[in-house]
Chain A
């Protein structure tokens, strides 16, 4: 997927698009790995209760919940770039490219407001987490609270990519329409 209108310099949008795609790929790998990893602590918990093979670790529940919260937030980041967050089709889809771009731009700007709330208050929340440690594992809570700040920043980047595409369509570049509609490789 390439975005940005041609003629704005080969380095600018192309470079950012490549970085964002790489970052997106990293998020995909992380979320799949955490999903697999999350099975481990709960399995250990069952094994330790019914057999004497391993001790009853105290950290299993917390480790599982830690994976869980990161899966949710990473998934929420991925879904913004894929355009797969649940939305409702009550209004008819605009017939013109321009109409579609205006509608999508409105949606992205509202989402951007929420993303900026996550950045602004996520920072405060992360700093608050930094002062606390978990009672069970001694882990600094920044590792959990920081997920919101990262989500906010990631959304700003992914939404920025979409907003650039919407503006390009409004300027008459209809080839950016595909980028606006979401990742074509994703089955909705």
Chain B
């Protein structure tokens, strides 16, 4: 069979099955079966072998641990403390609570590596609060969901862990490279909020005093210290990303159970269960996506793609634009984790051929896929926040698209100026960049 035929069969069946609402993880595995039936050299046992190989990775262990740390922080009531703190920072601007929403997401992104934890944790508190102050439901949901995507852009980041693990890129360097894009995306959202607030006359808070700021800072100080331990530990070479994620878990446990005294044994058991089931849904996808990706590589489909791109004389910027378009499109339909595993290796050789930096390539992918968390039909953060607010996705979609415009501009800057993105990792981890 030619690469084109195999690719056509696999993507065709996969597409048809997900339209029918077969779960993505199952659709990926089912799409491999006809190829195994047609090719005598292959047997479906290979699916199981590839899954074991994918799961047998110490790096991926960081995924459930980062999610656990985020969920523990949420259960410990960190959001209220961060809201109080950011109120003293941006509350006096027009649309104060919406600005707070964005800034809390940026700070929480430094504590957690998960956007869905932010969408659920912050959303459940700030969405009702914004509604009480008279913000429109659709704007409230849109800004909460859009700001939660910063969770996987500002380090630590579960997507960067998966990317680094699958594509062999330094996770520490990826973490550092996420700072500037994350802040850019946050600023682009604050600009959008500012315009919305002017047009719609959203409320403001009275300016906080310096004293109030320091009181709020003291109350959330230990939570804000968490990124220093995690990022510092990885970048300084003291711990591996997996060990750092466990430190984050232990630190969150200590804060919740002893410092804030808001976590009991019952809550911890619940958080363990919820984390395990949520993490395993994505992680299970890693297995079947790896089998799918392995089969594509077996038929040398990535090489075919380089050939196609080479014909158009692609350079760094055009490969970056193509990559962003592909990930934005695929991110509408599937979760970011299987998207990385299937599409990442397909495009990586093309990026290498045009001399694109692997970290630049990774950051474009992560940011594009992060945006996929709010693009329907499959935008997990949007689904979560619509559920919290009790509105339909179709009600929120217009405001999401408006807020996405400045965010896409931030992505364009990331694509156009690799040196800008690579500045922080080059400064702090020169060996790895």
Contact = CB atoms under 8 A, between A and B. Distances in A.
Interface of A: 28, 31-36, 38-39, 42-43, 45-46, 61, 64-65, 68-69, 71-76, 78-79, 82, 84-91, 103, 106-107, 110-111, 113-114, 117-118, 120-122, 124-125, 128, 144-145, 148, 187-188
B277 A68 contact: no
Given A90-B377, A117-B33, A117-B44, A76 B280 contact: yes
B49 interface: yes
Contacts of B273: 28, 31-32, 35
A39 B19 contact: no
Interface in B21-61: 21-27, 29-30, 33, 43-45, 47-49, 51-52, 55-58, 60-61
Interface in B353-378: 377-378
B6 interface: no
B284 A68 contact: no
A125 B61 contact: no
Given A32-B273, A68-B60, A90-B377, A76 B55 contact: no
Contacts of A87: 18, 21-24
A32 B21 contact: no
B48 A75 contact: no
A79 B281 contact: yes
Nearest to A112: B26
19 contacts: A31-B273, A33-B272, A38-B65, A39-B249, A45-B243, A61-B58, A64-B58, A68-B55, A71-B283, A75-B284, A79-B280, A85-B25, A86-B281, A86-B334, A90-B377, A103-B21, A110-B22, A117-B33, A125-B49
A31 B23 CA distance: 21
A66 B325 CA distance: 38
Contacts of A35: 64, 68, 272-273, 275-276
Interface residues of B, number: 58
Contacts, number: 170
B61 A68 contact: yes
A90 B47 contact: no
A103 B337 CA distance: 27
B279 to A, nearest CB: 7
Nearest to A33: B272
A128 B56 CA distance: 17
A107 B272 contact: no
B22 A43 contact: no
A181 B385 CA distance: 21
B26 A85 contact: yes
Contact of A110 (B30, B64, B272, B275): B30
A111 B24 CA distance: 11
A152 B260 CA distance: 43
A79 B281 CA distance: 7
A88 B58 contact: no
B64 to A, nearest CB: 7
A145 B52 contact: yes
Nearest to A84: B281
Contact of B48 (A43, A86, A148): A148
Given A42-B61, A46-B247, A75-B283, A114 B29 contact: yes
B263 to A, nearest CB: 13
A66 B275 CA distance: 17
Contact of B246 (A42, A65, A85): A42
B20 interface: yes
Contacts of A38: 61, 64-65
Nearest to B244: A46
Contacts of A145: 48, 52
A73 to B, nearest CB: 8
A144 B29 CA distance: 20
A57 to B, nearest CB: 14
Contact of A31 (B22, B61, B276): B276
A72 B284 contact: yes
A42 B30 CA distance: 35
A187 B388 CA distance: 11
Contacts of B272: 32-33, 35-36
A86 B24 contact: yes
Contacts of B57: 65
A82 B47 CA distance: 24
Interface in B271-326: 272-273, 275-277, 279-285, 287
A30 to B, nearest CB: 9
A110 B250 CA distance: 41
B246 A71 contact: no
Contact of B276 (A34, A84, A88, A91): A34
B21 A89 contact: yes
A86 B377 contact: no
B69 to A, nearest CB: 11
B24 A110 contact: no
B170 interface: no
A118 to B, nearest CB: 8
A74 B246 CA distance: 21
A179 to B, nearest CB: 17
A38 B242 CA distance: 12
Most buried by B among A68, A84, A122: A68
A88 B23 CA distance: 7
B333 interface: yes
B30 A72 contact: no
Given A42-B246, A71-B279, A121-B44, A88 B18 contact: yes
A65 B242 CA distance: 11
A31 B45 contact: no
Contacts of A107: 20-23
